[in-house]
Amino acid sequence: MPDKFLKKLQADFDLGLSDCRKIISAFSSEMSKGLAGQKSSLKMIPAYVDVPAGSEQGRFIAIDLGGTNLRVLEIELNGRGGLRKLKEKKYVIDKKHTLASSGQFFGFIADKIKGFVSDHPVEAGFTFSFPVKQTAPAAGVLIRWNKDFAVRGAVGKDVVGLLNGQLLARGLPDLRITALVNDTVGTLVCRGYSDRHCDVGLILGTGTNACYREDLAKIGKWKGPKSAGEKMIINIEWGDFDQIKTSPYDKLLDRQSANPGKQILEKMVGGMYLGEVARLVLVDLVKRKMLFSGQPAGKLSLQKSFKSEYLSVIEADSPSGLRQTRNILSGLGIKNVSRPDARLVKNVCELTAKRASIISAACLAAVIKHIDRNLKNKHTVAIDGSVYEKHPVFAKQMRKALQAIFGQKAQKIKMALTKDGSGVGAAVIAAVAGTKKSNSAGTHD
């Protein structure tokens, strides 16, 4: 087995402290450019909301539109930083809905909401996990669909307005959508309701993104009022970050993707892509007759056949027998895998996932340095997503990378798994928006 090639493969995926510092420097520069409204790979989108005070109370609805499901939740806030989910319903979004007209699609959502809510007036937050240009706390223009959605007549229109129109048509004038929410922002706000140190939200799942609390005075492109000391959450859209060392396999994946040249960081970190990165490495090893004794790669030769969840299973596999690794390969049509070959497959999976965790940690470090350059204060990072939650060592590797970057000060950074943050956070943001509106009304009396 040619050690020279394996060393090159290791070098392609290894990220040391110097690499992390380069990422931090480039990421910080892109953040500053994005905040100023200059050309940047980071969009730095104002979210029109800050973390809650923790004193909000009452019952609120969350409408969570993701990929294959629509969820409607009712959340109760007790005004003391505590919350509980009162009820929840999940509805499958069939393909016919994703290809429907905007009226049919938002009408479907309105029908489900009508079947969920009671008769009394209610405020709701709308989590809409598609690219929008937010123009107000409860308004945002759809830029484009993704995730195989192709609803007609919605691009370029305010999605809250489209939904409100359908709610009115169904006799629900008292249901007011007071907040349009990005899932990353929802995750930060969800944790921030009970944790006063929470100032960063992070998604590490099928895709990846982050947001953080910024001083309004530092948002150069913000044209609204800037009160002293006031903060706003910024949706970084960090999956677009492109100043990062890539391997030949990343370049090949990017060329074969539906959006070449875009979402470079996400293609190295997101669960939608991690399995494909590993597959491209494995196929190359087979072609070089360094794996499976040159036998055909079976289904492994098919694009997207090596699922990202395989990385978690294989990395958790017992090194003595590697039974789970062999079972996965057998399911792909590769039989009688030797122990050295199974071990090499595991090594490739480890390299792929470890690199993703270090990239995530380095970008997170850049965000925290931007907030608190000398890391004087405590910071909680609210994290949601299957990659972070389910991979056996992803969180540990992120923690190790943060320790290498910050030393002892890394203890001031708490990474908190915040499941279902996008849904619950939407209800909390609705409460925050409702409170602001009430206070504003009181001021004008």
pLDDT of residue 3: 75
Residues 80-110 pLDDT 10s: 878 888 889 999 988 898 889 999 999 999 9
Tokens coding 104: 């049919």
- Angle (CA) 307-145-65 rounded to 5° is 75
Q: Nearest-CA neighbor of 39 among 233, 231, 243?
A: 243
DSSP category for residue 328: H
Residues in the chain, total = 445
Minimal CA–CA distance to 271: which of 188, 190, 207, 363? 207
- Distance of CA 73 to CAs 53, 129, 377, Å? 21, 16, 34
DSSP letters for 64-117: EE-SSEEEEEEEEEESSS-EEEEEEEEEE--HHHHTSBHHHHHHHHHHHHHHHS
Question: What integer pLDDT is reported at residue 436 of this predicted model?
Answer: 58
pLDDT of residue 422: 81
Phi-psi region of 146 (alpha: psi -120 to 50; beta: other; left: phi over 0): beta
pTM over 0.95: no
Can you list the domains of the chain with their CATH numbers?
A: 1-46+194-419 (3.40.367.20), 48-181 (3.30.420.40)
183 counts as catalytic: yes
Residues 211, 183: contact at Cβ < 8 Å? no
Instruction: Give pLDDT tens digits for 357-371.
Output: 999 999 999 999 999
pLDDT, one tens digit per residue, over 2-35 is 578 888 889 999 999 999 999 999 999 999 999 9
Q: In what order do the strands lie in the sheet with 198-204?
A: 45-46, 231-235, 208-215, 198-204, 379-384, 413-417
Instruction: Give the three-class secondary structure for 219.
Output: coil
Kindly name the residue from 50, 158, 183, 240 that is annotated as catalytic.
183
Cα 303 from chain centre: 23
Q: Is 284 a catalytic residue?
A: no
- pLDDT averages per 10-residue partition of the chain, 445 residues: 78 94 98 96 91 84 84 88 86 89 94 83 85 86 81 94 93 86 91 92 93 93 78 93 95 91 93 95 93 85 94 94 94 92 95 97 98 96 95 97 97 94 86 61 33
What whole-number distance in Å separates Cα of residue 327 and Cα of residue 331? 6
CA–chain centroid gap for 291, Å, is 34
Residue 4, CA atoms < 13 Å, CB-side half-sphere: 1
Cβ contact 249:284 at 8 Å: yes
Catalytic residue among 33, 147, 378, 414: 147
Angstrom distance (rounded) from CA 436 to CA 442: 10
